[in-house]
Chain A
């Protein structure tokens, strides 16, 4: 029976090619525009580590006090850490896994003396950083907690820098000269470029282009050799001493912190710990204001830091509006088309076809229009996503990729939406009174 309806639908669509083309065009356009905008939205708002984001937390401590908020005219407490507190929290080690980190940009001196030194980007982190963020290793692994303690000169390279320095080989155990000092390679991270750069949005703003980070060094080692911070620094008072050491002794915030907590009990106890830590600091005379802290789970943290640009949300709304307009349009056209065939429906009904048969026939036809619109929409979505490249900044556009799920979604949205739009016209068609139609003809 379905085959018969398909045949009927095809005949009907062929009979008025103009109207059919209009409907297909409208659906194709609407679906493509919505999907293109949505793909951008999905790319920038996507959870970078969905299997674990509910276990990753970012603490914040009120180390500047209410006066600085009043003076600065804002309500939020510092979103990064000063050196003192970052080190204290690492020492107390109350989470399951945790790491303080800061952004560095050292120069790597190639072994080949003829080559120029190259500037690389990276992060100074603790050993627990790698298991916490599930960094994928190609060779070797992260360093040990012992290396953190001993302030060892070890490092983890990106796949890209490894290729550049050593060629595509397992370089674990070899050494790399960074600013005149030798570091032993303990691991090479396979291609890993999470977007947004969730572990340190304070310094990266979330999006850092298509380049993965080149190096990871032990935090303590980087501090020891005086490798300066390459990220943001915010101060509420000018440091007493100049330079990087001055920064470490200051109340300026420049260190990101992340902690993994596996269940509600751990979260609760970590909250108590933060509260206790702040109280203890207050008693020690560091602060003269009541303890205040925040502990945000990663998705909340990303939205708090406005990592997802408002722009994409607005454009998503606009795209949704466009889809609705297209559906209203399709509904109107389908209605026109179906009612034109009142005579045909009358004959079928008079010959004994039940209302359900009319439903089946016309919804099949609507579905076919939807499928055709979907195929056109697929093509146009492809064009749209390709065009996103020359309108959007590269780092965001690179994320708006055409993948199987997007294509399937486009087709599905097109068919479902058209069938929905066809419901009312079909209902109207099924109400046609056979007697009237037969009489007037």
Chain B
């Protein structure tokens, strides 16, 4: 196809052509960045938690007035909860991956004399059966022995006194943290330090356990501690059950806890899936808004192309007729308009790429977004070219149907 006649025609419609090019460029830039942002959100929303997501239930209680016998009460509660049909495991924990509310973190050191911590890690504490209940997979070493668990109160006191007695000696870490601390080595038997250089030995490594929040510090930097907590200290009951039994078990468990002590208030009762859904609600919302905006943009751009192409076809009816009379086939006319649109879209896309890059730089500086990966450019270009060709097809077909006899008529 000869491009020169197309280019010279476009030169006569400079402003309209430029407006179309500009529109495509802006669309291209915005869509590339918006799709990228959606990708970021989806990636976040799909982060693995490392727990048996569809099998967990969480119940958090608030007490009324001070409770002196919280430990005994917790043991009684757990024993009763384990009796409920369908409950496979039950324990208490201070937090869950991807959950709201306060989270517990500690500064880990590899050397007792370090001035600055090596990493901020999440601290999961829980009673006997913590790993089994969460469904966190042990990939090296061993789980805590029943005799190794200590009470939270005793642990806090010991931490404050800077005394290792009353504190657990061992802990379990995630694979991600192990690789961060000792790349290429086994973590088992190694020592890490918390607080004022209190040593703890790594006895086990789990495949994964995501942090409650603070993703920017490293999603997978978590530690597990054999420390028993109670509702009074803000911990929740965690039950593991078959996915289909969840609602029935949740109801039965709440009823059982109320029956054991009616003077308690249920603060939280939910499945883990609900907790996770709620946690990522903002990301889902942002992705939703962006999808809406992208759709609107592409529709508007397509409408613009249809409008201008129709106008041009109307304006050039006579010329088309003359060309047809001189022997041009319908296919020639159709190809002419498709090529013209391809060229215009090409200019727009080229300009759009530059704009997209600039916009991304702006967002990187102001909103801490990562760099736009290169793959977005060819994909964005292809999408816009296809949309352009589809949009222009209707008017082009109408042009191809102009009969040669038009050439002989005066307008």
Which A residues form the contact surface with B (CB < 8 A)? 18-19, 22-23, 25-26, 29-30, 33, 37, 40, 70-73, 105, 107, 116-119, 179-180, 226, 232-233, 238-240, 242, 309-311, 313-315, 318-319, 321-322, 324-326, 328-329, 331-333, 335-337, 340, 384, 387-388, 391-393, 396, 424, 428
Among residues of A, the one whose C-beta sits closest to the C-beta of B312 is A336
Name which of B89-97, B241-249, B280-288, B325-333 contacts chain A.
B280-288
In-complex Cβ contact of A336 among B16, B30, B117, B363 (8 A): B16
Select from chain A the residue with minimum beta-carbon distance to B282: A393
Would you call B130 an interface residue if the criterion is a C-beta within 8 Å of the partner chain's C-beta atoms? no
> Contact check: which of B26, B157, B282 meets A328 at CB < 8 Å?
B26
CB-based contact A239/B160 at 8 Å = yes
Q: Give the interface segment out of B49-57, B131-139, B303-311.
A: B303-311
CA distance A180 to B263 in the complex (A): 12
What is the size category of the interface that chain B forms with chain A?
35 or more
A331 touches B285 (CB 8 A): no
A29-B296, A71-B117 given; A240·B62 CB < 8 A = no
B259 within 8 A of A: no
B292 touches A33 (CB 8 A): yes
- B289 and A315: CB pair below 8 A? yes
Cβ of A322 and Cβ of B297 under 8 Å apart? yes
Q: Do residues B306 and A107 form an inter-chain contact, with CB atoms below 8 A?
A: no
Q: Which of B2-10, B17-25, B172-180 contacts A (4 or more CB under 8 A)?
A: B17-25
In the assembled complex, the CB of A312 is this many whole angstroms from the nearest CB of chain B, namely 9
Given A26-B300, A71-B116, A335-B16, A242-B156 contact (CB < 8 Å): yes
Asked if A240 and B160 make an inter-chain contact with CB atoms under 8 angstroms apart, the answer reads yes
Q: Knowing that A22-B303, A388-B289 are A-B contacts, what are 19 other residue pairs whose CB atoms are under 8 Å apart, sorted by A's residue number?
A: A19-B310, A22-B304, A33-B293, A37-B293, A70-B116, A71-B116, A179-B64, A318-B34, A322-B293, A322-B296, A328-B26, A329-B300, A329-B304, A332-B307, A333-B304, A333-B308, A336-B16, A387-B292, A391-B284
The answer to whether B315 touches A340 (Cβ under 8 A) is yes
Determine which of B29, B290, B299 lies in contact with A29 in the assembled complex, contact meaning CB atoms within 8 Å. B299
Distance of A332 Cα from B33 Cα, bound (Å): 25
Q: How far is the CA of A107 from the CA of B303 in the complex (A)?
A: 60
In the assembled complex, the CB of B380 is this many whole angstroms from the nearest CB of chain A, namely 14
Cβ B23 vs Cβ A238 within 8 A: no
B293 engages A180 (CB within 8 Å)? no
B153 contacts partner chain A, Cβ-Cβ < 8 Å? yes
CB distance from B169 to the nearest CB of A (A): 19
CA distance A324 to B24 in the complex (A): 12
Give the chain A neighbours of B315 by CB distance below 8 A: 340
B303 touches A319 (CB 8 A): no
Residue B311 contacts which of A25, A40, A179, A336 (CB distance < 8 angstroms)?
Answer: A336
| A313 close to B300 (CB less than 8 A) | no
Collect the chain B residues with CB atoms within 8 Å of residue A71's CB.
107, 115-117
Could you name 14 residue pairs across A and B whose Cβ atoms are closer than 8 Å? A18-B307, A29-B296, A33-B292, A71-B116, A119-B265, A242-B156, A313-B367, A318-B33, A321-B26, A332-B16, A333-B311, A336-B311, A392-B288, A424-B15
Given A19-B310, A19-B311, answer yes or no on A309-B282 (Cβ-Cβ < 8 Å).
Answer: yes
Partner of B286, one of A72, A315, A331: A315
Given the interface contacts A179-B64, A310-B367, does A30 sit within 8 Å of B262 by beta carbon? no
Picked from A116, A119, A332, A335, the residue with its CB within 8 Å of the CB of B62 is: A119
CB–CB B303/A117 < 8 A: no
Select from chain B the residue with minimum beta-carbon distance to A67: B115
Give Cα A40 to B282, complex, Å: 13
Q: Is the CB of A107 within 8 A of B107?
A: no
Query: How close is A327's CB to chain B, nearest CB, in angstroms?
Result: 9
Question: Do B267 and A340 have beta carbons less than 8 Å apart?
Answer: no
Residues of A within 8 A of B293 (CB): 33, 37, 315, 318-319, 322
- Residues of chain B within 8 A (CB-CB) of A19 are 307, 310-311
Distance to closest chain A CB from B366 (angstroms): 8
Contacts of B303 in A (CB 8 A): 22, 25-26, 329
**Which chain B residues lie closer than 8 Å to A238 at the CB level?**
156, 159-160, 195
Residue of B nearest to A181 (CB): B65
Known: A238-B156, A309-B282, A322-B30. A29 touches B289 (CB 8 A): no
B408 interfacial contact with A, CB 8 Å: no
CB-defined contacts of B307 to chain A, threshold 8 Å: 18-19, 22-23, 329, 332-333, 336
By the criterion CB–CB under 8 Å, are B30 and A107 in contact? no
Question: Is A325 a contact partner of B301 (Cβ separation < 8 A)?
Answer: yes
User: CA separation between A333 and B311, bound complex, in Å?
Assistant: 8
User: When the two chains form their complex, are residues B304 and A37 in contact, meaning their CB atoms are under 8 A apart?
Assistant: no
Chain A residues in 8 Å Cβ range of B64: 107, 117, 179
Complex contacts, A118 vs chain B, CB 8 Å: 265
Question: CA of A322 to CA of B303 in the docked complex: distance in angstroms?
Answer: 14
